[in-house]
Amino acid sequence: MRILIIGDKRRFFHLKQFAEQLEKKDLDVEIIYDLDFIDRFLEINIRKKIAKKNNFDEILTRFKPDIVLLDRISKIGKKIIEENIPLFILLRGNYWEEVSWAKKTIYKSKIDKLRVREDEKNFNYCLENASLILPISTYLEKIVKEKFPSKKIKILAADGRNSEEWKNVDGMKLKHPNVGLLQGLNIWGKTKELLILKSVIGQLPDVRFYLAGDGTFRDKVIPELENFENFSWLGNLDYPDKVKGFLSEIDIFLLLSGLEGLGQSIIEASLMKKPIIASDVGGIRDLIQDGINGFLVKEGDSEKILEIIKRYTNDPEFAEKIAENAYSSVREEYDWKNVAEKFLKILQEEKFVKN
């Protein structure tokens, strides 16, 4: 069976690991970058548009995929549907809420508004015509079922990692005790929750807070937090080596977000055996059982964040137990070998491959 995986280059590192596990199960897999084969919005270079279309036609003719797995929805999905190739869509986030936030914050010009309308139309067209929708969490499954009740929908937590690769390394030198945060700053609905730290950092002067990540809304958050002497912003870290170095050195992992499809940084922090505190939003409950392998906090609840940080720092044995539980809960479930096995089972259930 031949599977063509199409996605964003930023995820190629993980998609290649997924593909390697699928190939061990005798599946033939190829991965391509969507923007190499489709024109950007309002592309005026006709020659380039034709060349991209021809290049994609050549891939379909040469590889002859039995299914296409779309890691992010783009205009290439429409082409797959028109070619009558079964289309599987991995749904990684709440697109509708993300677009709602973007309309409120960054989509202001007429061109932006026109582009987002086209994106919304294409997004819904692809989901309506997909052979199978694969949300990565129960949270996203519920949303898709509400919007597309007649579609085939199965959860595939395709935010895997090769567990053996996530070990402590010699990392950056940070001050201790500390709390580490690792997240992007590109969607205001996610990023705004970081401002709750203003009610936390000042009350823990002996704890150092480190934030790694960057994005569109850095200027709305970083200057506010840099008013505290025990806060440091590290910017973007090279993935995966610098991220591993950062996670190796932190004492507590904290994810403050208003919007999460699942929480890939939680998976990585768990594999690095860090005690975790995370916002109780989106798909994070698939990863964190409150009080067992981490702690969940409601949006805006700075008092609980303070309470848990103090408990972790004052009781290292308790923090270690929580961290070990976190490691145990994700080690197998989110290993790419396990994810590939679940995907193969889905293919068997859908009669694309034999049992």
Q: Where are the domains of the chain?
A: 2-160+335-349, 163-331
CATH topology of domain 163-331: Rossmann fold (3.40.50)
pLDDT the model gives residue 232: 98
Same fold, 2-160+335-349 and 163-331: yes
What integer pLDDT is reported at residue 269 of this predicted model? Answer: 98
C-alpha pair distances (Å), 125 with each of 21, 89, 90, 203: 31, 12, 15, 50
pLDDT score of 115:
85
Return d(Cα 257, Cα 162) in angstroms, integer.
Answer: 25
What distance lies between CA 204 and its chain's CA centroid? 30
pLDDT tens by residue, 65-102: 999 999 999 999 999 999 999 999 999 999 999 999 99
Residue 136 has pLDDT above 90, yes or no: yes
CATH, range 2-160+335-349: 3.40.50.2000
How many CA within 13 A on the CB side of residue 236? Answer: 9
Residue 153 vs residue 54, higher pLDDT: 153
Model pTM above 0.85: yes
**Local confidence band at 350 (pLDDT 50, 70, 90 cut-offs):** very high
Q: What number of CA atoms fall less than 13 Å from residue 22's CA on the CB side?
A: 27
Q: Is residue 186 pLDDT above 70, yes or no?
A: yes
pLDDT value at residue 40: 67
Cα 63 to Cα 19, 58, 75, 131, distances in angstroms: 15, 8, 20, 20
The model's pLDDT over 4-51, given as tens digits with 9 standing for 90+, comes to: 999 999 999 999 999 999 999 999 999 999 989 987 656 666 787 778
Mean pLDDT (the chain, rounded): 94
Nearest to 9 by CA among 60, 54, 74, 56: 74
Give the residue among 223, 173, 158, 164 at the shortest CA–CA distance from 194: 223
Which residue(s) pair with 309 in the sheet? none
